[in-house]
Chains A and B, each alone.
Chain A
Amino acid sequence: MNSNVKKITQKELNQVFLRSCTLDSGWNYERQQHINYCFTMIPVLKKLYSDDPEKMKRALHRHLEFMACTPHIVTLLAGITAAMEEENANNPDFDEQSISAVKTSLMGPMAGFGDSVFWGSLLTIAVGVGTSFASQGSVLGPVLFFLTINVPGFLSRYYGLKIGYNSGTTFFANMEKSGMINKLSKAAAILGLLVVGSMAASQISIEIPWVIDINGITTPIQEYIDWIMPKFLPACAFVLVYWLLGKKIKTTTLLLLTFVVCIILSYFQIL
């Protein structure tokens, strides 16, 4: 290491913490939380790459990629990627691709965990406690509701960043030295692909409402499709979109296309 080692300070980490709070506010159908994730990482990127526009450009694009994570724990991911960016800024041999790979693979599993904790368990508990007071007309209801969600929410956001950055700095420097980072990227991609496959089955939903009428006995077509394979139509949609993306069709075009096709199909009651 030479004398002008670039180092992220507590100041940048504090800014990352504050900016991570906006994660869900720019949500869009194209790449979900990506503009706010980039916004979260900008203090770190400015500290590391202010003298290198080429690296800055690649880093900005890297963090404008698709992002989907639970806002309350996203700082863990931000801490890890900040540590990797720091390693990248100081080590000319660092494989930049591995930052995207690790980020993409971790966000799915983290979201699976975080969503079930925050939008699942904690929200249910908070609603249970909150409504029992609020239905009596007591302000204690909303207050307890707020605390049940936000005390754990802000604690995990704060410590997630610390843990992510601190473990990341030692971890990735060692990884890079021992040549293990490719292996790590690949292991993370296995995990990521498993989760994405599962997301394709659980989050895409298409059902055909037609009904076949044979001598007064009606059977929905959807049942026949489910016999062939459950989630057959979501699988088709996924493969079709995956293929179109490979043809360099822009996501905006895809959005518009889906919209128009759905309006037409809905008008003729096909979907």
Chain B
Amino acid sequence: MSLTLQTLLIFAVAFFGYMHSYVGSTMWNRPIVVSTLVGAVLGDLPTGCKVGAMLELAFLGAVPIGASNPPDMVSGAVIGTAYVVLQSTDIETAVALAIPVAALVAIFDNFLMMFVLPEAAHICDRLADKADADKIDVVVRAASIGNKVALALIVALGFYFGIPVIEKILASIPEFVTHAMDVVAGILPAIGVAILARNMMSKELAPWLMFGFLATAYLEVPTFGIALFGIGVAMLYFFKKEVIVEGVDDNEF
């Protein structure tokens, strides 16, 4: 099989993997599926499955909960598996390759999510001003699929130029830049959380925000526990008997 054909197939597998979030967050971007597919297109299905199982366990903690964005598993699994299948090396090599590749592509993905996709969102804001729902449809589709094409292209390029080039790129990125990306990813959730808080805030209700924060900071109650507690408090408020005064709106601050 020629390198060009292999690269095309690798592109297709990577694109398929990334598209999971467009067709129902099916999680087929996980190594157990992606590595199997890479094995299948490169002609060694059983090895693909085995590498997939190993990488799956290596990436088990990588889940997109809240605003934390995990390493890019698709690129890691594709490059790692392709190397093992084509070079017929130990399957352990896949882990050593997959983790830095996944970290590198995650930087690119973060760049898309920080600067490119917010631009698409601003276009949608402007279209909303004109009440143009049809054009918003187009922009959302293009943005949502476009970032997957870009990511799959990066993976295909990495495969085409091979492992030495990837290692060179990895080595050329200064340590402080990769570290800065980690720091940024830790701080950025503050923006989303603050927007949410702003939408619901009033002077009267502000203490509840504090209670939620303190309960998690000091008592280490997980967010779901806080939510259950909050349902109780909300019910207490909702069913409290109260004389409703007509015409007084106490919801504005």
Contacts and interface: CB of A to CB of B under 8 A. Distances in A.
Q: Do A and B bind each other?
A: yes
Interface of A: 21-32, 34-36, 38-39, 42, 45-46, 53-54, 56-57, 60-61, 64-66, 68, 71-72, 97, 100-101, 104-105, 108-109, 111-113, 115-116, 118-120, 123-124, 126-127, 130-131, 133-139, 141-142, 145-146, 149-150, 153-154, 157, 179, 182-207, 229-231, 234-235, 237-238, 240-242, 245-246, 251-252, 254-255, 258-259, 262-263, 265-267, 269, 271
A64 B114 CA distance: 17
Given A104-B199, A197-B216, A42 B65 contact: no
A198 B136 contact: no
Interface in B175-209: 176-177, 179-180, 183-184, 186-202, 205-206, 208-209
For chain B, give the interface size range.
35 or more
A127 B213 CA distance: 33
Interface string B97-136: 0000000000000000111011011101101111101001
B113 A193 contact: no
Contact of A42 (B21, B117, B137, B244): B137
Contacts of A119: 63-65
Contact of A22 (B53, B144, B193): B144
A241 B30 contact: no
B140 interface: yes
Given A26-B143, A60-B133, A206-B187, A197 B212 contact: yes
Contacts of B63: 119-120, 123
Contacts of B242: 183
B218 A46 contact: no
B212 A195 contact: yes
Most central of A27, A46, A230, A271 by chain B CB within 10 Å:
A27
Interface of B: 19, 21-28, 30, 32-33, 36, 45-47, 49-50, 52-54, 56-57, 60, 63-68, 113-115, 117-118, 120-122, 124-125, 127-131, 133, 136-137, 139-141, 143-145, 147-148, 176-177, 179-180, 183-184, 186-202, 205-206, 208-218, 221-224, 226-227, 229-231, 233-235, 237-238, 242, 244, 249-251
Contact of A251 (B25, B118, B180, B221): B118
B216 A198 contact: yes
18 contacts: A27-B64, A29-B118, A30-B191, A36-B140, A38-B124, A53-B131, A141-B53, A179-B244, A191-B227, A194-B209, A194-B211, A194-B212, A196-B200, A200-B212, A231-B217, A242-B198, A258-B187, A262-B184
A258 B144 CA distance: 25
Nearest to A103: B199
A26 B144 contact: yes
